[in-house]
Structure 1
Amino acid sequence: MTRSWWRRNAVALIALAVLVPGAAAAIGWREWAATYEVSSQYVHPVTPQGDADTVEFGGATWGPVTSGFFTEADGLPIPDGTRVVAVKVPVRNDDADAPVGCSSPVLVDQSTGTRWSEMSVALDLDYDPDAPTLCASDSSSYEMLVPFIVPDDVDGPFWIDVAPYSEGPGFVRFSIAP
């Protein structure tokens, strides 16, 4: 007597029943992590407390932060309908042998949550080792000078967020009103 198709393929059907949901879960997890992990990694802002204008975080002292608006009158090639918010972030590493590392700060509109990245290349600004746009790993004390291009009608106030690499989910946040 011949065995039925179901009996002949029982092992393959069981494997299929286990592998298909497993593969779907693995693919779904990978896509979820790629989409949400980076944006949700930094969720705990560390801000100046009380009257302080500096923050000690991640092995460095950050601030005091200064900022201002720049226009075409300042000699920068600014696109029509925009202006530049320039932010200066002083950084003093607590341990010169282990300086803090970070990517460029991000500018955030406090009212809308709109985020802007550093735009020195778009403004034809050359790299200046004395005013880097991200954490300098070879210096114990320096000032990051970071330009952001924003629409003309955006006045702030803003947050400037700096995320040291080794301190996720925490990041340094300063409130600025250029």
Structure 2
Amino acid sequence: MWRTGSPTQAPMDDPTHHLEGLTSRQRQGLQNLLNDLRGSLAWSWQLPVLIRQRCWLRLETIQLSELHRWLPPDGCEDAPELSRYRELVALGWSPLQAQEQCWQEFGDDDCRIALQRFWASQHDRKHDWTLQRYLAMVSRYRQSIEAGVTTIPMLVLPRSGAATDHQLHWVSDSTPPMRHTCA
């Protein structure tokens, strides 16, 4: 199921379930984090991002500026050689003409390496956290904060060996399970 309003094309879970399994201490920590964020609602790369590792029952808070080091986005799809190829095909070039042009512009070795890295990243399930997903998350986070909306992105990491992707959820005061901790 694709979730309406999702900043990414990643499948999203029902919002009532992404906080299931958190301890009362973790829920209280989330509420405190939301309260702190509400008090200083200004865009910054020091804003919090939640990382949930369900298999270890861990919920970590890192700064947005650390996310690209903690969970590096896969940029193989955005290699200049592949971007140029897609651009030429979109302009009406045949795939063969576009490929030959890219070979002339970048060299056939670089084009071949870019393709190999791309296909390897498609085969390797660890690399579903793409540059597009990362940039979309940062953009939505910034828009939310600048609009005065108190929300924190939470990345739920897939279990080892699972065929699921990283899941992105947005935690706020209106997240159903959070309402119960405010009483």
TM-score, structure 2 normalization: 0.27
Q: Which has the larger radius of gyration?
A: 1
TM-score, structure 1 normalization: 0.28
* Structure 1 or 2: more helix by fraction: 2
Structure with the larger RCO, 1 or 2 (CA within 8 Å, 6+ apart): 2
